[in-house]
């Protein structure tokens, strides 16, 4: 599928700024991404102009926060649209438009995100929720999973142990057990499921910046609440899910296995916004098949970094509250990350339901 999806001008589904995809993007492919891990970010600004020479060093700014063990308060807003047969059964998911919403705290270390405490829920427009409930009542597993997730779910990941409390995961636990132990998983994979690109994974960040299709700095930001936010910049680029899998340990955990032909070549577009010191304050990513498929699927998320803080501790649930769970209650699919959405299979043969 390649970057022609991006060059065609896909309608961005998260925030208006991200839809400004340039018409003539670089045709560099994954070797350029990998080379960034070896030669570093300096290669990106070869023969810089005077303006480019003043671009803050985002890599250094993030590395310093990782070394300090900083904490990050964040909010995240996602947007998803499905009009395809789901991958789990012969039931039909049909058109759904919903928004996964997260807020919480990440704790950083030299290796990236080392702990996370997150509240997540799925939000449907009030006109669309009845459709999801109707399909859930008919037995569609994706619909049942999504409706369960309209209630807030709490995620905690500390020392690589992943815990969830909420209806989808705890309904079958014995009385008195309120947290599901979901096994071992990196905190970065817990935090970057809806987003899929982990900007606190330093090697991945280096590679993305080195392969960026567009970069700008010294943009006025009248809404900036601090001096550092009065002048901002951004990097923008794209890569395929297959390239992301080869590049990112976080995405390899999220995806579980190498992307198959159904989504390996789908393009993920991303934009990273940073302040005058090079610190990221907003990051968006997403994909869409709208230009290639009659029944399309698209999804993505934008993360706002609300504040950077000092090191902190995120405690796990008390052991007497925890039950081991290997899958959601009633055998439902998790359907709580973008990799699952990207794998949605062939379109339904039924007429699509359309909303106003």
Average of pLDDT values for 128-153? 91
Confidence band of 214 (pLDDT split at 50, 70, 90): very high
Confidence band of 344 (pLDDT split at 50, 70, 90): low
Residue pair 302/76 in contact by the 8 Å Cβ criterion = yes
CA 355 remoteness from chain centre: 26
Any idea which residue has 């769970």 for tokens? 325
Find all residues with CB under 8 Å of 129, minimum gap 6, and list them: 150
Residues 322-339: tens digit of each pLDDT: 999 988 988 899 988 887
Q: How many CB atoms lie within 10 A of CB 350?
A: 9
pLDDT at 12 over 50: no
> Cα separation of 137 and 133, whole Å?
6
Percent of the chain with pLDDT over 70: 77
pLDDT score for 112: 97
How far are the Cα atoms of 3, 111, 159 from residue 8, in angstroms, in the given order?
9, 37, 43
How far are the Cα atoms of 60, 82, 92, 134, 333 from residue 87, in angstroms, in the given order?
41, 12, 9, 19, 10
pLDDT at 288 over 90: no
pTM for the predicted model, two decimal places? 0.79
pLDDT score for 338: 80
Residue pair 152/120 in contact by the 8 Å Cβ criterion = yes
Confidence band of 104 (pLDDT split at 50, 70, 90): very high
Among 35-44, 166-175, 286-295, which is the least confidently predicted range?
35-44
pLDDT at 314 over 50: yes
pLDDT at 105 over 60: yes
């Amino acid at each position: 599928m390649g970057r022609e999806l991006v060059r065609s001008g896909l309608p961005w589904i998260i925030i208006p700024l991200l839809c400004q995809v340039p018409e003539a993007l670089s045709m560099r492919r994954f070797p350029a991404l990998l080379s960034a891990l070896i030669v570093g970010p300096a290669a990106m600004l070869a023969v810089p102009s005077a303006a480019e020479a003043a671009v803050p060093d985002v890599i250094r700014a993030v590395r310093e926060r990782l070394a300090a063990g900083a904490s990050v308060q964040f909010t995240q807003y996602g947007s998803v649209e499905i009009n395809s047969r789901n991958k789990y059964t012969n039931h039909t998911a049909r058109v759904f438009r919903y928004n996964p919403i997260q807020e919480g705290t990440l704790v950083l270390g030299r290796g990236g995100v080392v702990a996370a405490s997150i509240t997540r829920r799925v939000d449907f427009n009030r006109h669309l929720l009845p459709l999801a409930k109707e399909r859930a009542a008919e037995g569609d597993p994706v619909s049942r999973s999504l409706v369960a997730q309209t209630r807030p779910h709490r995620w905690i990941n500390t020392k690589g142990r992943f815990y969830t409390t909420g209806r989808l995961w705890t309904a079958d636990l014995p009385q008195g057990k309120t947290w599901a132990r979901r096994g071992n998983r990196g905190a970065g994979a817990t935090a970057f499921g809806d987003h899929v690109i982990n900007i606190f994974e330093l090697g991945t960040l280096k590679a993305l910046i080195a392969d960026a299709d567009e970069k700008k700095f010294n943009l006025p930001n009248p809404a900036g609440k601090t001096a550092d936010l009065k002048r901002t910049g951004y990097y923008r680029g794209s890569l395929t899910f297959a390239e992301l899998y080869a590049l990112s340990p976080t995405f390899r955990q999220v995806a579980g296995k190498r992307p198959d032909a159904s989504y390996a070549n789908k393009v993920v577009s991303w934009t990273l916004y940073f302040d005058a010191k090079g610190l990221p304050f907003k990051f968006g990513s997403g994909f869409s098949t709208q230009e290639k498929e009659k029944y399309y699927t698209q999804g993505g998320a934008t993360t706002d970094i609300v504040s950077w803080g000092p090191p902190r501790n995120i405690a796990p649930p008390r052991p007497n509250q925890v039950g081991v769970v290997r899958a959601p209650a009633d055998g439902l699919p998790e359907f709580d990350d973008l990799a699952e959405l990207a794998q949605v299979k062939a379109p339904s043969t039924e007429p699509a339901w359309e909303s106003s």
